[in-house]
Amino acid sequence: MKTTVHIKGMMCCKCAERAKKALEKIPDTTVISIDAKEGTAEIESSNPELEARVKQAIEEAGYECTGLENSCN
């Protein structure tokens, strides 16, 4: 399932890279894109514990996950 992750605290491309690396550690998850300016990441995942895993990964990277939006596309 494709998901948009809203991330608070990313300010630059290095922040985006750090958040991307954190998201890539989640099993069965692929990072499609990440945008520090917009504060979003697009991911695709089949992980049944996705929401909890994303929140944990983003927080461990030093940012705040402010929400997830699922898409059928």
Looking at residue 22, what is its pLDDT? 97
The pLDDT of residue 71 is: 80
pLDDT at 52: 96
Q: How far apart are CA 15 and CA 2, in angstroms?
A: 22
> What per-residue confidence (pLDDT) applies to 73?
56
Domains in the chain (CATH in brackets) are 2-71 (3.30.70.100)
Residue 41: name the closest of 50, 49, 31, 51 by CA.
31
Please tell me the predicted confidence (pLDDT) of residue 37: 95
Residue ranges for the chain with pLDDT beneath 50: none
Predicted TM-score (pTM) of this structure: 0.92
